[in-house]
Amino acid sequence: MAVVELPSFVRQDGREKVTGTARYSADLSTPGLLHAAVRLGGVAHARIRGIETARARALPGVVAIVTQADVPDLRYGTWVRDRTLFASDAIRWEGEIVAMVAATTEAIAREAAALIELDLEPLPPVVDLEAAIAPGAPLVHPGWAAYDGDARIPREGNVGSRHTIVKGDAEAALAGAPVVVRERYVADGSHALPIEPRAITAEWQGDRVTIQTSSQVPYLARTHVASTLGMPEGKVRVIVPHLGGGFGGKCEGHFEPHVAALARIARRPVRLAFDRREEFLAPDHHRERMVIDLATGVDHDGTILARSARILIDNGAYGADEPYLAQLAAVFAVGPYRIPAVATESLVVYTTTQPTGSVRGPVAPQVTWAVEQHMDVVAERLGIDPLELRRRNILVEGDEGPVRQRIGANGAKTALERAAEMIGWGRPLPADEAIGIATGWWPSFPGPSGAVVKLNADGSGTIVTGAQECGTGSVMALPILAAEVLGMRPEEFTLLYQDTDAGGWDAGASGSQTTFNNGRAVVSAATELRERLLALAAERLEANPADLELTDGVARVKGSPEAAIPIAELAAEAQGGRLLIADGSGDPPAVPEVDAGGCVGRLGGESFAAPCYFTQAVRVRVDRATGVVRVLEVAAAHESGTIVNPIGAEGQVLGGIVMGIGQALTEGTQLTPDGRQRNADMLDYKLVTAADAPPMRVEFVQVPDPNAGPRGLKGVAEPPAVPTPGAIANAIARAAGTRIRLLPMTAERVWADLADVEAGR
């Protein structure tokens, strides 16, 4: 369990990014380019009686308008096909797209979009999660029993799906437990909010369309275009230029089909570029609102005997990933703890608000914020140190997970203890300061992925990967892995990525899966090249391939450095005959066996492959006069298996912590009573700035997992956002003497709680 030193590492795409020559989607231009603008519904819930585009069409400069009447009459959706590309019968949330306009300038397109007249009949909004599932609540999708979809998703009222994790008899165990703590936590929504608003350009050549888009998932976007426009995938090419951040906000296929349809009608290339408000309101990347009820039974010595939970999760108006994520939420409600009796349940709830979906470590930050505060409350009730309570219950090798998954060797306990040591747990502090701690876990996601590796005649290498780069630098780890296999230097490889016509299939920059899965693909391709190189060298050196090695750019006989041939020479020779080119994919590691017999709503999320374990400790200061919380210091200890690229991994943790601080304190979607967003702008939706961000220390506890990615690596990017809000919450509770059970824990909320305490309420 070594702590790694950071080597100097320069991103391959770094030079273009610091010189302004890196091209992002909105930077691209092409002859004949038209500009698009969207017409959004603007109301939370209404029946559409008519859409009148005549005035918009009459505006000089308008070339084309597309509505649902112009695209195939199909419903689509991840689990239930509950939506169409454009709203035609009803508007179910304010950001729903009704039409898209193409014009010679963006200003004309926006003016025309505003001229489209909507004849709407208001319908009752559905916002509150409890009210939405109460009998007699207005339905978001009255006809959804008739929609196509996954048979595992029942269609009842506004309940989008239901998932349980069941182990033992939690009810009986709670009834018999010496101490039981029951609590409710409520989380507001929040946003992925990449600094780059998305842009999409579509251009038809013959019957093929090329789409340049700010997507984290180009292959999924390609499938989405093909399926919604009724065309073969082979006719759709998706390219992602440099991507200005994603954080889940650019997952899912989104506006690519809309722009492609508009470009086809306009017979010219069309670009859609979102402004900040539109980016805020784009669907499927709103972090879920939640209502979390927890109950835990413990013995006097702190042994956890049982946990039950019920979590309501906002789905918004249409379904994306939530059923799967809700199943994860039911697992996260247990936490990375040894608990013999478990009964957790999560419900996905349709509302007339922005559709929710994957945002960095989806569902885990909110659930962990609640669970880790709950752990501190249990510790207080028992009079046990919160660190000690966690130490006694945290999962160690050989334990059973929530669905009797056998837990392998891991660094959970070490990370817990390291984070506490790093922050100086238990040291004396001024009265307005305190330290809080939170721990958590997050799975890796094995899946298919492809890459091609080739060696050029000059001895350089090219990696053509299907993987997507969203700024994480995960594709930058691929040359490191290829270079290790081939005895070359990472700098000798160039990368081609983000073009669905070039690389092998990949699930995209989601689930922290890139190095995990595409790393395997690259190692597989490089290993084939290695064998070819060794065979070529064996012939030249008149040696047995088994006696040769590739190192420092040469093939040589082991132990006889003088008998060596440069790899470049072998590559040049190969270019005169059979080329040195190989593709790779490899078999994804298996998902662990589980016993989930009593669980309902199983969608595969109940089994955690190669989990990451982590603990963060924070020191905060609470200003009692204003309620303002300042995070003064963060210590993070993460176990993500082997760390292949330390500076890249550290960058993920640092960024994830600061994103978590924002979710904890200053971000948070504010809704009007009818479910529209009050703060869809960066003035009112506050990100953490450089002046707010605290000094952070990061350590990696390295425990390679044999059933993970190359060299036992696991995902890195999502875990750091998970424990931060919970750690801050626990620090606030200790410093303020009152616990904030609403997320975000804004100054107003802290101040109000402090005022209640002082007033004896």
Partner 1 sequence: MRYETSFRLNGTPVSVSVEPSRTLLHVLREDLGMTGTKEGCTDSECGACMVLLDGEPLNACSYLAVQADGREVTTVEGLSAPDGSLSALQRAFLAHGGVQCGFCTPGMLISATALLARDPDPAEETVRAALSGNLCRCTGYQGIVQAVRSAAAEIREG
List interacting residues with partner 1 (CB under 8 A). Answer: 8-11, 13-24, 26-27, 193-197, 242-247, 275-276, 470-473, 647-648, 650-651, 654-659, 681-683, 687, 689-693, 695-696
Instruction: Compute the least distance from the CB of residue 691 to partner 1, in Å.
Output: 4
What tokens were used for 350?
Answer: 């349709």
Phi, psi for 336 (deg, rounded to 5): -80, 55
Q: Are 735 and 622 in contact (CB under 8 A)?
A: yes
Give the residue from 212, 213, 210, 237 showing the smallest Cα distance to 223: 237
Whichever of 385 and 692 has its CB closer to partner 1, that residue is: 692
Instruction: Compute the least distance from the CB of residue 645 to partner 1, in Å.
Output: 10
Whichever of 546 and 691 has its CB closer to partner 1, that residue is: 691
Instruction: Compute the least distance from the CB of residue 222 to partner 1, in Å.
Output: 22
Instruction: Compute the least distance from the CB of residue 527 to partner 1, in Å.
Output: 30
Instruction: Compute the least distance from the CB of residue 545 to partner 1, in Å.
Output: 39
Whichever of 265 and 647 has its CB closer to partner 1, that residue is: 647
Instruction: Compute the least distance from the CB of residue 531 to partner 1, in Å.
Output: 35
Q: Are 144 and 82 in contact (CB under 8 A)?
A: yes
Helix (H, G, I), strand (E, B) or coil at 483: helix
Alpha-carbon separation of residue 48 from 51, 52, 124, 561 (angstroms): 7, 11, 14, 78
Within 500-541, residue ranges assigned H as helices are 519-541
Whichever of 527 and 679 has its CB closer to partner 1, that residue is: 679
Instruction: Compute the least distance from the CB of residue 245 to partner 1, in Å.
Output: 4
Instruction: Compute the least distance from the CB of residue 12 to partner 1, in Å.
Output: 10
Alpha-carbon separation of residue 464 from 455, 479, 494, 500 (angstroms): 11, 11, 9, 11
Describe the crossing of helices 364-382 and 322-332 by its angle, rounded to 10 degrees: 20
Largest separation between any pair of C-alpha atoms in the chain: 89
Instruction: Compute the least distance from the CB of residue 692 to partner 1, in Å.
Output: 8
Whichever of 275 and 593 has its CB closer to partner 1, that residue is: 275
Determine how many CB atoms are found less than 10 A away from the CB of residue 115.
Answer: 18
Task: Report whether the peptide linkage leading into residue 142 is cis, meaning its omega lies within 30 degrees of zero.
Answer: no
Instruction: Compute the least distance from the CB of residue 36 to partner 1, in Å.
Output: 16
Instruction: Compute the least distance from the CB of residue 679 to partner 1, in Å.
Output: 12
Whichever of 25 and 356 has its CB closer to partner 1, that residue is: 25
Instruction: Compute the least distance from the CB of residue 24 to partner 1, in Å.
Output: 7
Q: Are 620 and 730 in contact (CB under 8 A)?
A: no
The helix (run of H) or strand (run of E) holding residue 751 is helix 747-758
Whichever of 338 and 619 has its CB closer to partner 1, that residue is: 619
d(CA 202, CA 34): 10
What tokens were used for 488?
Answer: 């070359």
d(CA 134, CA 159): 10
d(CA 549, CA 539): 14
d(CA 112, CA 55): 8
| Sequential DSSP letters for 200-228 | EEEEEETTEEEEEE--S-HHHHHHHHHHH
Whichever of 275 and 432 has its CB closer to partner 1, that residue is: 275
Whichever of 40 and 377 has its CB closer to partner 1, that residue is: 40
Q: How far is CA 469 from the centre of its chain?
A: 13
Whichever of 130 and 681 has its CB closer to partner 1, that residue is: 681
d(CA 444, CA 646): 18
Non-local (6+) Cβ contacts of 544 within 8 A are 538
Give the residue from 15, 623, 663 showing the smallest Cα distance to 368: 663
Whichever of 126 and 658 has its CB closer to partner 1, that residue is: 658
Cα angle value 243/248/251 (rounded, 5°): 75
Instruction: Compute the least distance from the CB of residue 656 to partner 1, in Å.
Output: 8
Q: Are 143 and 84 in contact (CB under 8 A)?
A: no
Determine how many CB atoms are found less than 10 A away from the CB of residue 539.
Answer: 12
d(CA 348, CA 310): 11
Helix (H, G, I), strand (E, B) or coil at 76: strand
Whichever of 9 and 76 has its CB closer to partner 1, that residue is: 9
Whichever of 20 and 577 has its CB closer to partner 1, that residue is: 20
Instruction: Compute the least distance from the CB of residue 724 to partner 1, in Å.
Output: 11
Whichever of 471 and 712 has its CB closer to partner 1, that residue is: 471
Q: Which amino acid is at 434?
A: A
